[in-house]
Amino acid sequence: MTTKLAPLSERPSWKALQAHHDTIQATTLKQLFADDPARGERLTAEAAGIFLDYSKNRVTDETLGLLTKLAEESGLAERINAMFTGEKINITENRAVLHVALRAPKSESIVVDGEDVVPPVHAVLDKMAGFADRVRSGDWKGHTGKRIRNVVNIGIGGSDLGPVMAYEALKHYTQRDLTFRFVSNVDGTDFAEAVQDLNADETLFLVASKTFTTLETMTNAHSARDWSLAGLGGDEKAVAKHFVAISTNAKEVAKFGIDTANMFEFWDWVGGRYSMDSAIGLSTMVAIGSDNFRAMLDGFHEMDVHFRTTPFEKNLPVLMGLLTVWYTDFFDAQTVAILPYEQYLKRFPAYLQQLTMESNGKHITLDGEHVTTQTGPIYWGEPGTNGQHSFYQLIHQGTRLIPCDFIGFYKTLNPLGRHHDILMANVFAQAEALAFGKTAEQVKAEGTADWLVPHRVFEGNRPSNVLLADHLTPKVLGSLIALYEHAVFTQGTIWSIDSFDQWGVELGKVLAQKIIGELEGTDGAASTHDTSTTNLINRYKKNK
Ligand code: F6P
């Protein structure tokens, strides 16, 4: 059990950081670099194939010392240990938080409620591998005896964002004679467009849902069942060959009509947004093969070990988590931009949005009190260089401080003339421009008219991290995701919030259920709402 902590703003290191912030606020990155010729090499760290340059942050050694002190005073070491040993740290749901067990080697043992969870993890991985091999080789046949050509993952939130991100990220490694589609939105267009060019006799649906009760997923799964049976002559037996389930809820899977022999299990100690390396990653495994999937798990695990064993001042997730707390709470930064300079990572910012914001978008502490500081910032981003031609203007010259994470690779998977050098030159140029800017003197020296000078000045002093790795492999992807998972955990620990529940999504779900009845006419005319909602519902009903 973790000991009760002083409220965040009363911790000595927090108070010291407040005083320190006053002194550092006016210090520029330019000055910090001028004062320390070794800064660019010194403020770096490396683990699990990922190099982090955090030198372009508005920190001194004193800042970093105080931030690591804050981590210590916030009980981070104890919390890490509690997570890795299966303590029920998700207190509002009374659950262990063990996504780290999903990538634990066979030799490890992690006991929850008297059961070692590592053997079942590997049993499911083996079952997934057997299934993936059969689909990839053409051995798994559809109802009419044809081999499967199309795999459609149906899921939403963590049961979609991880799979779709990983599919896109690892496309280079996928079996190209298989088509993959991802259906998540309850908007019928999503399903209709996903299957419009597919044949039912060659199409396999993976219904991915931790609970197997999620409205969107169940609605899409039922439509998929209808579509599949319509294309296969209506024989119910076809379901066994064209549907598999990924869930923790065998009862609901059976109720839907999927044989539980075709179910891939995971466990309540895997949060939805932490589940892409569980059976929820089945589409990933079918796409890239089981060896590549296992390599991805190795990458996750390497970062887990680093997080668990490395002193805070050299610990990548801890450093990144603490820097986010620094900007969120002391510089009033409201967002973090995720800027991958790797086209394959185009869905990475969207994936991180759920990971970060569903985890740390909370205002009640573990002790049930209202927080006294800001918590989870807004994460957003687009792959470079596209963003440079749309929103970077605001990062460079807007009024808000936006810490940025640049992600780049030494090598590209698609060497093409000068492309990769040009791409990477932009990473270094953007981080340099944000940090050091361009003074009025420099602008004037270029012969700029006086009135135009202020418009062309770059103040600089805008912080960023640069993350570099060799090239995008399944292993590096695993390490990168684990890096952010643990950075989120570090933030949540400092803020003393439960990063693993998501009660904030419930109210809308309940209200939608009620309104569905009203829209479909089974619940009478809308009347029990506020006048705006009632009016909107009635207007929709009249015009639909
Ligand atoms: O509504 C939020 C949420 O519960 C997410 O946390 C989760 O990833 C998503 O819905 C999907 O849930 P499920 O996998 O149970 O369908």
Ligand 1 centroid – CA 10 distance (Å): 35
Fill in the DSSP letter of residue 356. I
255 is catalytic: no
d(CA 120, CA 133): 20
The closest alpha carbon to 166, from 289, 267, 47, belongs to 289
Candidate from 92, 95, 99, 156 with most ligand 1 atoms within 8 A of CB, to mutate: 156
Does the structure show a pLDDT above 70 at 1? Answer: no
d(CA 355, CA 221): 25
pLDDT of residue 525: 62
Tokens in use for 14? 């927090």
Candidate from 159, 160, 206 with most ligand 1 atoms within 8 A of CB, to mutate: 159
Give the pairing type, strands 44-47 and 50-53: antiparallel
Give the pairing type, strands 335-340 and 404-409: parallel
Is residue 300 within 8 A of residue 183, CB to CB? The reply is: no
The β-bridge partners of 181 are 152
d(CA 190, CA 355): 23
Fill in the DSSP letter of residue 313. G
Is residue 351 within 8 A of residue 394, CB to CB? The reply is: no
159 lines ligand 1 (CB under 6 A): yes
Using a pLDDT cut of 70, give the percent of the chain over it.
98
157 lines ligand 1 (CB under 6 A): yes
pLDDT single digits (tens) 75-87: 999 999 999 999 9
If you average pLDDT over residues 261-288, what whole number do you get?
97
For the residues of 42-92, what is the DSSP string, one character each? HSEEEETTEEEE-TTSS--HHHHHHHHHHHHHTTHHHHHHHHHTT---BGG
pLDDT of residue 526: 61
pLDDT single digits (tens) 346-395: 999 999 999 999 999 999 999 999 999 999 999 999 999 999 999 999 99
Fill in the DSSP letter of residue 157. G
- For 164, 360, 362, 485, the CA distances from 500, given in Å and listed in that order, are 22, 8, 10, 11
210 lines ligand 1 (CB under 6 A): yes
Choosing from 358, 382, 485, 518, the catalytic residue is 358
pLDDT single digits (tens) 389-415: 999 999 999 999 999 999 999 999 999
**Whole-number average pLDDT of the chain:** 97
d(CA 94, CA 135): 38
Positive or negative, the CA dihedral 52, 53, 58, 62 is positive
Fill in the DSSP letter of residue 326. H
Tokens in use for 411? 């090598």
Positive or negative, the CA dihedral 329, 331, 332, 334 is negative
Choosing from 106, 363, 411, 509, the catalytic residue is 509
pTM of the predicted model, to two decimals? 0.97
Phi first, then psi: give them for residue 363, nearest 5 degrees: -130, 10
pLDDT of residue 511: 92
Phi first, then psi: give them for residue 455, nearest 5 degrees: -70, -25
485 is catalytic: no
358 is catalytic: yes
Helix H or strand E encompassing 265: strand 263-265
**Where does residue 320 rank: exposed (0-12), middle (13-18), buried (19+ CB within 10 A)?**
buried
Is residue 97 within 8 A of residue 275, CB to CB? The reply is: no
